[in-house]
Structures are given as structure tokens and as C-alpha cells.
Structure 1
Amino acid sequence: MPCKKIAIVVPKYGLVGGGEQFVFELTERLAKYSGNDIHVFANKWQSSSTKITFHKIPIITFPKWLTTISFAYFVQCALKKFQPDIIHTHDRIFEADIATVHSIPHPLWVSEIRKKKSPSLFDRATSWVEKKLYLSDRCRLFMPVSELAAEMIKDFYSLPVTKLQVLPPGIDIDRFHKRDDVVRKSLRHEFGIKSHETLFLFVGMNFELKGLAILIKALARIQPRLKQGAIRLLVVGKGNREKFQAMAEAVGLGSKVVFAGVRNDMEKVYQAADAFVMLSGFDTFGMVVTEAMASGLPVVISDRVGAKDLVVDGENGFVVDRNNDDGIDSALIQLIDPLKNKYMSEKSRESIQVYSWDKLAQKIMDIYNNILL
């Protein structure tokens, strides 16, 4: 098949963020392996690839309600001139051939997750653009990153299941690898974690939404019930440290919680831990879950995290109701047992192997080819 022009649409490319990382990892591989002419239409980007052509798309950010509409409008103008063979969007625009969906319907985000009584002008504008994309005749396939998102999209926009295909994010298997004892010992020493202590890991840029308070209270509940072994908690990311440090001290865990701030060496940080916990109120996916699993950590995540699609209860982790204290406590206690932890650690690493970025890129290339036939 001759080389085709593929337009990838995203506001920010190669910058910080789960969705941005998804687009970057996938598109870099498409440019390397697909044999097609890859063009990225973005407002900002960061890339060293010589195989991708970038197109600057303006965004009007003031007044704020113009942000989504202006991006969609200027993308439409640019694509009309460019005339690509396929438009693959990762954001809300007026129309595309395929769309990777990193979020739930915006009206549901506003009402159910943000709990806003009434949508702002920005929310209304964003929802309008989103609705045009979902109801356009052109878009052949929507690719949510999780079943959780897919169900909400299908029900809200009354889409046929034939227009939905769940494609979770990939993972860099080489970067996030099974336990390295030398790295583990070094990082645990840095954080002041003793060899006999079970270290639970929390990672997030929003302590409240990601459920740090629930985790701290759960660890406080199980601590007196442990017949042997000690537990510690490592908190990585950004949030109100003072608030949660005070909370830990109030429940008797002050000395057991370590706040590490934002880290750029997460592939090493995972090595220090024994289990990963994410009790979010909502996450469309949660790429840190796959990073933890690739690093050989059993995971405990809430049933409001899209990455639950990858978790087999009792095998590589646990999916729990964040409002069920007994369920959370039971999962954490089981992971303190060395034999159980070792078994689930091996299963976690094993189960994530099929989700490499290269394999995801191949699936996308197959989708492109089907559209181009």
C-alpha cells in the first residue's frame, strides 16, 4: 500500500500528562513503523523525531469558553487545506475518521465527577464540540481507553457497539521491569524503609481525587490487626502535603508515611515498593497502574478506575469499592503476606506483557489499513 498522509490531532504533544504521554508513545511508533506520512496538528509539542511533521494550531484561551471551540475550528481549517487520508484525533474536534477517547462524556464529567450544579460557559462549549464529533457521520470508530469509559459513552450518546473498540494504553516494558534488588535496596535506603517493612505506594497529582485519605485511614485500621510485620506508605506526586501529613499523624501513622514529592525516576521508585494502591473517585484509565504492574507490583484499585480491565481479583491485584472499608482492609492485609505478595507480583508482571506500546501501534496500523481499503 502506498504511503498515506495521517493527521494526528492533539492540543499538546509530548508534554506532561497521561493523555499526552499516550499520544506521544503511540505516534512516535506509528512514525517509525507504519510507513505512512505522519503529521501532528497541535498547539504545543516536544519531540526529537525527524519522521513527524508538526503543524501549529492556534488556540484562543481568553475568554476561556473559546478554548475548545477555537482549537476545533482552527484544526478544521488546517485539515481542509491539508487533505489527509485519515484524521485520527485524541481530542474534541468537529469531525474525524477515528478518535481515541481519553475521557468520559463532558456533561457527565461536570455533573457526576465534578458535582457542579450547573455547567459553565466553557463546559457548554466543550460539550457542544464533543457532541458534534460523536454524532458526525464521518467518524468510523471511537476507541475509549477503558470499558468504564466505553459504557458511559455508549449510553450517553446512544452509539452502536460496532462504533466502539476499547484500546487501553500501552506500557514501556523495557523501562518498567521486574524487581532489581540493587535498585530496590538503594531506593528503600533513601526513603528510610527497612527490609522487613511492607511498603505500599501511592502515586498521584491530586491527593484528594486519587483517594489518599481513604488509604491512610485503611492502613491505620489494619496496623493494630497485624500479627507480624510493619507497614509503610510512600506518597509520590503533588498535593496538600501538610493536610495529609496531619491526617496521618492524627491516626497514628505520622512516622510511617513518607512524602517524596514529584519524581522523574518512577521506574526506580516502583522497585522500592511491595504493592501499589489507587482508590480514585474516578479515573478514565490510570496509566500509573500499568507502570506498577509492569514493575511487578500487585495493585489495589477502586472500581472507578478504568485500568480495572487489566486486574484479575486475587491474581495480579484487587478491585475494591472505595466506600467498603472491609474490602479495602482485606486486600491490603493479603498483600502483606510474603508468599501471596510474591505470587501476585509475578502474575502482575506476566499479565501486562501483552500491553506494550509496539503492540498497540500495530493494532492502530491495522485499523488505518482497514479504513484505507
Structure 2
Amino acid sequence: MFLDNFYRKIGFYIIKWLIINLLLGFLGAVLVLALKKGIFYLNQFFYNKYYIAPLIGSVIIAIIIYYLDFRARGLGTDIYIRYTNNKYPLKSPFRLLISKFLATSTTLGLMGIGGLVGPLLLIGSSMAIVIDKVFNYFKVKLFNSQLDYRVLSVCGAAATLGPLLGAPLGGGIFASEILYKSSLDYNDLFPAILGSSFGYYFYHAFLPMNSLNIDLALPEATLKEIFLLILVAIISGIIGQSFISIFEAIDDYFSRLRIKSFLKPIITGVIVLMIMKLLKVDSFIDIGDINQLVFSPLREGRMIILIIVKILLAMVIIGGGCSAAIVDTALISGALTGNLLYYIFPNIPLSILVIIGLSATLASIANIPLATMIIVSEIFNLNLSLPVIIGSIIGYLIGRPKAVFKYIGEE
């Protein structure tokens, strides 16, 4: 009798989360595709044609924040962490979904800088809560406990990260691991991997070409190089912590400004317009073009300055209340660090330095060592190589005291 009851519960659990994740994966893939298409068309028809597009974008974002939902501003990751960890229930999820979607597409489409990881965490999670509301409307009660709502939220976030990153396993781990500083909860980890995998599958059914995956065959590191790799990982981890300090300083500056919150994006738009147009930053690198840093050392000083300026502008955009992600910027920062360290360690292959640099920087900034290992391995088609492991672990250990995301749980 006991075993019958046990297997009945397990069977219901498996079927329930299979069906839910199938639905979330499909909708997550549609959201990612729609967001990317929206950004592309805004870039093509407005950003590349009109000089003041960043200023127009900042005004639109201010309107969204003021009239639709103030939660649409900033990273999105902190809100996801807070309510998924049951610090408070998510209210008006549909309004948040729409406003965050519009704010993100406007930020990246009209301001030209930023990333999608953080906003999509919140968009996907909000989508999952909206689905629960729809089920409740039709009197279908599938989620009865706080744990169910937590798992649902994580699965929704994972369903958008898998297709975005081209990392079906890493997307699920990221959505779960980001919630805590030093642990993983299996209750949401495995359903999240399922949601991420379904999202990845549906996205590539719609759009077979994967923009992020880069085929990279890393050479084997010698024993002598391993000690140098550890040193490179330490340097990259420390740079990751410096990255956090700069971002916090920018964020604190905007927080202390004694003006209405919806006016801050407009100030940001003016700053971005002046700097980007003066230095022509808009023509350079995005996460999809990270292979430029992997395969050839940067030799032109202006090119290096442009990347650094673009990284700083991404921080200003987020600190000023526009909707973008810091994770994508961290990957670029780490890749740039590894690329520049090639001039100090020319005997180590450039690809190894870039991989260890971005792994250590991301793990240091976001406190996600396992997700970093898997995501970097999936993006670069690696077999969990030693540089990825060294970079992720050392970066995490250096960054443990301070992560860029607030509200991460302690256990």
C-alpha cells in the first residue's frame, strides 16, 4: 500500500512537471524569439537611422516605468531572486511581463547596449506565474504549496535562458543556482533543467541557427601552464570583484539622485547619446561576437578602449533604470581580460586565456560556479575542460563575499 501510494505521487509529479515544462518551454522560446526580433527591428529602422534614438528610447522607458510598472527598471534578477525565495509574492505578473518585455526591447533596440539574461529571468518567471493564474481562472489547481510556486518560477526563468544562451543544461542550473550563495535545491534544479531543455528545443525548431555556440578546440594545458592558469583565474576573479565595485558605485550614484525614478532613464539616455556618438561605440562588440576576442589578440588601443567604454555604459544604463543584464557584460569583461593577459602570458594559447578569464569573471560576479562551468562548456562546445573548471572555482571562491545580485540566499 505504501509503495503504491509513493509511486502514484511520483507518477503524478513527473507527468505534471513534464506537461508544465513543455508548455513553458514553448512559450519561453516564443518570448525569446519575439524579444530578439523586436530588438532587431528597432535597431534596423530607428537606432541605425536616427541620431537621437538613445534619447527617444530613454523617454519611452521612463513612460513605461511611470505608467506601467516601476519594476520594469534595472536588472530584473534581484526581483526574481526575492520573490522566488518567497520573500514576497509576485503581484500583477502579467503587467510585469509586458512592461519588462517592452522596457528591455526598447533599451537594447534604441540604446544599443546591454544584455538579456537578467530581464529574461524575470520575464520567464512572470510568464510562469501568469500561466498559474490562467489555470486558476479555469479552476484547474495544479500548484498547492509554496514549493510548487518556487519550482514554477524557476522553470519559467529556465525556459527562456536555455534558448537564449544555447545551453539547455546550463540555463536550468543558472536559474536555480543564482538563488543561493552556496547551495543547490534539487526540488527546483531538475524541473528547471527540463524547462530549459524544452525551451532550447522549441527555439531551435523555430530558428535552427544558433548565434552563440562557438566551436572551440582547446589544446591540453601542460603542468607548467596549470600554475599560470591558476594565476590568470585569480587575476580575473579580482577584476570581477572590481567590476562589482564599479557597478555598485554607479548604482549608488543614481540611487542618491533626488529626482523622480522615471526621470533617471532620461539622464541615462543623454549620457549614452553623447558618449556613444562621440566615440562611435555602437559599431563594436556584443556577446554574439565574443569570438572576436577568442581567436585574435586585440592590438589596436582604440578598440580596447571602445570595449571598456561599452562595458561601463552597460553599467550606467542598468544603474540609471533602463532594462538590461549584467551577466552578458561580465562575459565580455572576462573575455577581454583573458585577451589582454595574452600579452603577459604569450606562451599560453589565447583561447585558453579567454575561456579561463570569462569563466572566472562570471563565477566571481554572479556566484554561480556550476552554472558557469556548464554554460561556458555548452557555448564553446567543450568537454568540461580544465581551464573552465579552474576559472569557475577560483572565481567563485574570490567572489563569494560579494555578488553583483542582492538578496541571494545564504543556504
Band the TM-score falls in, shorter-chain normalisation:
under 0.3
Higher-strand-fraction structure: 1
Larger Rg, first or second structure (1 or 2)? 1
Higher-helix-fraction structure: 2
* TM-score (normalised: structure 2): 0.25
Q: Which has the higher contact order (CA 8 A, sep 6+)?
A: 2
* TM-score (normalised: structure 1): 0.27
